[in-house]
A and B are shown apart, each in its own frame.
Chain A
Amino acid sequence: VKRYHDIVGDGGSRILEQVAEQRTRITGGLAGVRHLVAVGSGKGGVGKSTLTLHLAGALRARGRRIAILDADFNGPSQARMAGVQGALFVPGRQKVALPQTRNGIAVFSMGSVIPESEALEFESASDGDSHTWRATKEFALLGEILAAVEWGALDLLMFDLPPGAERTVQYADFLGPRTSFLLVTIPSEVARGVVARSAAALSKGPNRLLGYVENMSGYYCRDCGAIKPLFVSPDQPPPVGSHSDPTPSGPDRSVRFRGRTRRSAEASAEPGPSGLGIRCLGTVPFDPELARHCDQGIPLAALPETPVGLALEHVAQQLLDSLESTTSAPAHVSNELRRDKPASAHGSSELRPGKPASADASHEPRPGTEHPR
Chain B
Amino acid sequence: MKFLCVPCDSPMKLQSVGPPERGSLSVVYSCPECGYEMAMLTNAYETQIVQSLGVRIGPEIDKTETGGLTSGTGCPFTAMIPAAEGAAEGTGHTTSTGAAAQPVPIRWTAAAEARLEKVPSFVRPMARTGIERFARERGALEVDETILDAARDFFGM
Interface residues in chain A, defined as those with a beta carbon under 8 Å from any beta carbon in chain B? 1-2, 4, 7, 9-15, 18-19, 22, 87-100, 110, 113-115, 117-127, 129, 132-134, 136-137, 140-141, 143-145, 148, 365-369, 372-373
A100 to B47, CA, bound (A): 37
Residue of A100, A115, A137, A144 ringed by the most chain B CB atoms within 10 A: A137
Q: How far is the CB of A357 from chain B (nearest CB, A)?
A: 14
Q: Which of B8-61 contact A (CB under 8 A)?
A: 9, 11-15, 20, 22-24, 27, 29, 44-45, 47-59
Contacting residue for B27 out of A1, A13, A88, A141, CB 8 A? A13
Having A13-B1, A125-B24, one finds 4 other A-B pairs with CB under 8 Å, namely A12-B14, A90-B127, A125-B51, A126-B47
Whether B97 pairs with A90 at a CB distance below 8 angstroms is no
Q: How far is the CB of A282 from chain B (nearest CB, A)?
A: 32
A7 to B155, CA, bound (A): 51
- What is the count of residue pairs linking A and B with beta-carbon distances less than 8 angstroms? 186
> Given the complex, which residues of A lie within 8 Å of B51, measured CB to CB?
125, 133, 137
A120 to B92, CA, bound (A): 11
Whether A121 pairs with B131 at a CB distance below 8 angstroms is no
Whether A114 pairs with B95 at a CB distance below 8 angstroms is yes
Q: Which of B110-136 contact A (CB under 8 A)?
A: 115-123, 126-127, 130-131, 134
Q: How far is the CB of B64 from chain A (nearest CB, A)?
A: 19
Q: Which residue of B lies closest to A119 (CB)?
A: B96
Q: Which of B81-106 contact A (CB under 8 A)?
A: 92-97
> Given the complex, which residues of B lie within 8 Å of A132, measured CB to CB?
45, 48-49
Q: Which residue of A lies closest to B117 (CB)?
A: A91
A134 to B145, CA, bound (A): 35
A129 to B1, CA, bound (A): 23
Whether B49 pairs with A13 at a CB distance below 8 angstroms is no
> Given the complex, which residues of A lie within 8 Å of B141, measured CB to CB?
none
Residue of A13, A93, A145 ringed by the most chain B CB atoms within 10 A: A13
> Given the complex, which residues of A lie within 8 Å of B56, measured CB to CB?
14, 18
A13 to B55, CA, bound (A): 9
Contacting residue for B157 out of A11, A97, A129, A144, CB 8 A? A97
Whether B115 pairs with A1 at a CB distance below 8 angstroms is no
Whether A98 pairs with B6 at a CB distance below 8 angstroms is no
Q: Does B63 contact A (CB under 8 A)?
A: no
Whether A90 pairs with B50 at a CB distance below 8 angstroms is no
> Given the complex, which residues of A lie within 8 Å of B131, measured CB to CB?
88, 90
Q: How far is the CB of A114 from chain B (nearest CB, A)?
A: 6
Contacting residue for B52 out of A87, A114, A140, CB 8 A? A140
Whether B13 pairs with A92 at a CB distance below 8 angstroms is no
Q: Which residue of A lies closest to B10 (CB)?
A: A2
Q: Show 17 residue pairs from A and B whose CB-CB distance is below 8 angstroms, ordered by the A residue.
A: A7-B4, A7-B11, A11-B29, A15-B50, A18-B55, A88-B155, A91-B115, A93-B145, A96-B119, A118-B97, A121-B93, A121-B94, A122-B92, A125-B20, A133-B49, A144-B54, A148-B120
> Given the complex, which residues of A lie within 8 Å of B95, measured CB to CB?
114-115, 118-121
Whether B127 pairs with A122 at a CB distance below 8 angstroms is no
> Given the complex, which residues of B lie within 8 Å of A117, measured CB to CB?
97
Q: Which residue of B lies closest to A145 (CB)?
A: B120
Whether B154 pairs with A125 at a CB distance below 8 angstroms is no
Q: Does B76 contact A (CB under 8 A)?
A: yes
> Given the complex, which residues of A lie within 8 Å of B3, measured CB to CB?
11
Given contacts A125-B44, A125-B77, A141-B54, contact A12 B2 (CB under 8 A): no
A133 to B117, CA, bound (A): 24
> Given the complex, which residues of B lie within 8 Å of A22, measured CB to CB?
54
Given contacts A11-B2, A88-B151, A93-B115, contact A136 B94 (CB under 8 A): no
A230 to B33, CA, bound (A): 74
Whether B23 pairs with A90 at a CB distance below 8 angstroms is no
> Given the complex, which residues of A lie within 8 Å of B2, measured CB to CB?
4, 7, 9-11
> Given the complex, which residues of B lie within 8 Å of A7, measured CB to CB?
2, 4, 11
> Given the complex, which residues of B lie within 8 Å of A4, measured CB to CB?
2
Whether B120 pairs with A144 at a CB distance below 8 angstroms is yes
Whether A136 pairs with B52 at a CB distance below 8 angstroms is yes
> Given the complex, which residues of A lie within 8 Å of B47, measured CB to CB?
125-126
Q: How far is the CB of A79 from chain B (nearest CB, A)?
A: 12
Q: How far is the CB of A20 from chain B (nearest CB, A)?
A: 10
A61 to B138, CA, bound (A): 36
Q: How far is the CB of A275 from chain B (nearest CB, A)?
A: 37
A2 to B8, CA, bound (A): 10
A119 to B93, CA, bound (A): 11
A144 to B11, CA, bound (A): 31
Q: How far is the CB of A363 from chain B (nearest CB, A)?
A: 11
Q: How far is the CB of A84 from chain B (nearest CB, A)?
A: 10
Given contacts A136-B53, A148-B119, contact A123 B94 (CB under 8 A): yes
Whether B57 pairs with A13 at a CB distance below 8 angstroms is yes
Contacting residue for B120 out of A13, A93, A96, CB 8 A? A96
Contacting residue for B48 out of A15, A125, A145, CB 8 A? A125
